[in-house]
Structure 1
């Protein structure tokens, strides 16, 4: 009985222990489940914390960038405000001096030359100094006021010659006086200054680097005085006149780009677009460094857009120009538009590419492309023209020379995007003559260099001698007591300086392209 009682007691104790163990096991399982859930929540929270930290860091970076951009914009705003204040002050001073009659009559809208001066400059129009002859007159090389110039003498007995004279003079100065208001740094107050003859004179000195400069006129002899180009016209170089060496493919590519740039400038001129109307190699002149400039604006037109016409055009019943380069629609309709210049540019590109005459050149190029035989018509005298570049130029030239205007490309959107990379590639393979230092890897245009410092200008100013200098350098020259020109050694008529805003913008744009 005692053993039975002990056995019963043991069973009861074992039962209690088993129940306690079951309770502990359930508690352990609950604890494990709670721990697992806690770990899951911890991982989730850690992920959320990481995402929040990345979000905060990204926002901090954006905030820092926005702050930097805001500071840069504020600095630009302050700088432009200062330039505006300085320009307004200079304009007010010049206007006051003009009102008081300080300036001489020779400082009008353009320089006037007498017939005697032109005769002396050309040794009484010596035939040996004749460098060209056109439909309305002759061009002579002359030495005028210590400067080598080209003098275009129109036939006075020709009514067309008289019309050509007045048209070309007005076109040159209309384009030059309206150019400044197209620059980003100029402000609306320039519109009021255009009515003042002195301000128009100042603005007429601002020009595109690839447009010929009209120095002055001689109304009594129907004469136009231009800057002189020792390498003649592009037509002369393509024909190897006077046994000149053929133009290299790098130089030809650069000329294409320069003409494209000049046309974009003319067509985007404000308030009215300008169409050249007679774009051809004879009217593209080359300076000593073989930089090209577009000249002969005798038939160019300012296109005035009206409320009743959505497309700017000029209509004439007597189209003038060179047939092979003229827009077919202009010949048939008499309507001159910017796309007329695009057609002429296409023909010129094909001439530079193939060296062939302009007659039926588009058919020849198109046929060669269709037969995959383009290399057979490329001008080998230009050197080993890279086929990929030649192929791109041939295709864009054919698009420009489409018979239908609607199918021709836009210069800024389509053509320039093709030509600009080709210009850069060409400049990397050969150094043009216009480069300033053989040790540099970058070709700096010669007109970006200050004649005094021989460095790229940051703040160019035009002096009384017509040359552009770095502002600090020319001020130092004048402040040191000099009263003569650093370039010609002639006495300066005055010590006033005019900011060359167009050249400054071009230098800034060039520097930005080089930094990319």
Structure 2
């Protein structure tokens, strides 16, 4: 019995030992599995780290490339800044040269715009106001050609017995010292001692001279007349848009439209003109008087009736001038003549044959425009901006027609330069035409000079420019080069 009991105890011990060993083995296995799991996690983490490291290396390369690109861009910007600085310096230099070129008539003298002159200077310039140098006479007085400080000028001297007196003299000085435009006569200065005005000299006389062929003055071709119509309109657009005071000419007529050496027209004689402060409302600005003055035939009938001078008064006068340029007839009753000529098949019978063969469409459009502007009812007349909107496409179409004649008559030797080729500012053939925000084309250096002087308005319309960007007019440049070569 004892033996069996011992054997059972021994067997039990063996089982307990085996159980402990099994437990140890299980624990060891679990530890091994845990280690394997941890090892796998470490490997995964290592792989993730390697991937992140590769990404960081890529980002590092990209960042280094970006830094390199930034350095290149910085260098380019520095170069561009240097180029712009050089362009600015060149522009300033060009502007100075342009001012010098534009003011060549003052190059050998000390004259500046709106200079003051003494009576003795004017007497010396005109040989004591010799009749031999008299080139015109009007309500204000006489106009003399003179040589003043090495410059040829026109000197208008007040007649002491004239109905126009010192107020008209001062009025013209005030206006012409405030407004400058390619189609407005340039006032050089004045002499208060005798109420004299000194202007740039315009050698081709007045538009009236060429309409009547006075003193064998050459007639004007239809091309020249069409261009002159556009120039008069632009001058009026500038005056009527001038700020803060718009200007009403009040005595617009062919005698007061002068022609320079290139037959460019310029408005003159502002003695009875009026400056009127622009209203902030939509009401029409006007000047009221109980003594209306003007020239019969060009005089706004409603100004005579009401004593109210408005911009529409200039539009009426402009309409009469358009009809005169079209027909060559006197101003009196010209609207009736043109209305009759608007009957089917009769228009060509009233146009001025001395201007050449008028294109029918052009003649018809100008006749309609002239009649519309010269309407007796002021309310039915367009304003000058609307007139320009009508004229501009007509002028462009006319300029594209091939012209075989010169600016004046066939005896005029100077070759006609198409008006589109002439810069409105410098009045010279353009070499680098650019389109500005106002839709007009200018010589690049001329319009850049205008903008660099701080102007934010159009030099042609006096309206604010929406931007200062310039677009090269390649088509016009090619046309100019082809024309010059031909």
Q: Same fold (TM over 0.5)?
A: yes
Alpha-carbon spacing, 1:220–1:319, altered in 2? closer, same or farther (3 Å) = same
Among candidates 133, 151, 154, match of residue 150 of structure 1: 154
Alpha-carbon spacing, 1:133–1:456, altered in 2? closer, same or farther (3 Å) = farther
Say whether residues 1:374 and 2:351 are aligned partners: no
Instruction: Quote the offset at 1:161 in angstroms.
Output: 2.3
Say whether residues 1:412 and 2:385 are aligned partners: yes
Kept in 2, the 8 Å contact 1:374–1:391? The answer is: yes
Instruction: Quote the offset at 1:108 in angstroms.
Output: 8.5
Which digits, 9 at most, give the CA deviation of each residue in 1:470-495, with x for residues without a partner?
59xx9xxxxxxxxxxxxxxxxxxxxx
Kept in 1, the 8 Å contact 2:248–2:275? The answer is: yes
Give unpaired runs (5+ residues) of structure 2.
1-79, 93-109, 409-413, 435-442, 461-467, 480-486
Instruction: Quote the offset at 1:424 in angstroms.
Output: 2.1
Instruction: Quote the offset at 1:316 in angstroms.
Output: 0.7
Query: What's 2:422 paired with?
Result: 445
Instruction: Quote the offset at 1:171 in angstroms.
Output: 1.6
Among candidates 271, 291, 298, match of residue 318 of structure 1: 291
Say whether residues 1:425 and 2:402 are aligned partners: no
Kept in 2, the 8 Å contact 1:289–1:432? The answer is: no
C-alpha separation between the residues in 2 aligned to 1:139 and 1:469? 37
Kept in 2, the 8 Å contact 1:354–1:379? The answer is: yes
Superposition map of 1:306-345 within 5 A: 310-345=283-318
C-alpha separation between the residues in 1 aligned to 2:427 and 2:226? 27
SS at match of 1:221: coil
Q: Which protein shows a greater Rg?
A: 2
Equivalent pairs counted in the alignment come to 351
SS at match of 1:220: coil
Alpha-carbon spacing, 1:226–1:110, altered in 2? closer, same or farther (3 Å) = same
TM-score of the superposition, structure 2-length normalised?
A: 0.64
Query: What's 1:268 paired with?
Result: 241
Alpha-carbon spacing, 1:242–1:374, altered in 2? closer, same or farther (3 Å) = same
C-alpha separation between the residues in 2 aligned to 1:500 and 1:238? 40
Instruction: Quote the offset at 1:110 in angstroms.
Output: 2.1
Superposition map of 1:68-87 within 5 A: none
Which digits, 9 at most, give the CA deviation of each residue in 1:306-361, with x for residues without a partner?
57982210001111110110100001111010000000000000000000000000
SS at match of 1:324: coil
Kept in 2, the 8 Å contact 1:208–1:502? The answer is: no
SS at match of 2:160: coil
Superposition map of 1:206-355 within 5 A: 207-305=180-278, 310-355=283-328
C-alpha separation between the residues in 2 aligned to 1:510 and 1:362? 42
Say whether residues 1:166 and 2:170 are aligned partners: yes
Give unpaired runs (5+ residues) of structure 1.
1-74, 88-105, 177-206, 459-467, 475-497
Instruction: Quote the offset at 1:457 in angstroms.
Output: 8.3
Instruction: Quote the offset at 1:250 in angstroms.
Output: 0.3
CA-based RMSD: 3.9
Which digits, 9 at most, give the CA deviation of each residue in 1:451-472, with x for residues without a partner?
9x994588xxxxxxxxx9959x
SS at match of 1:132: strand
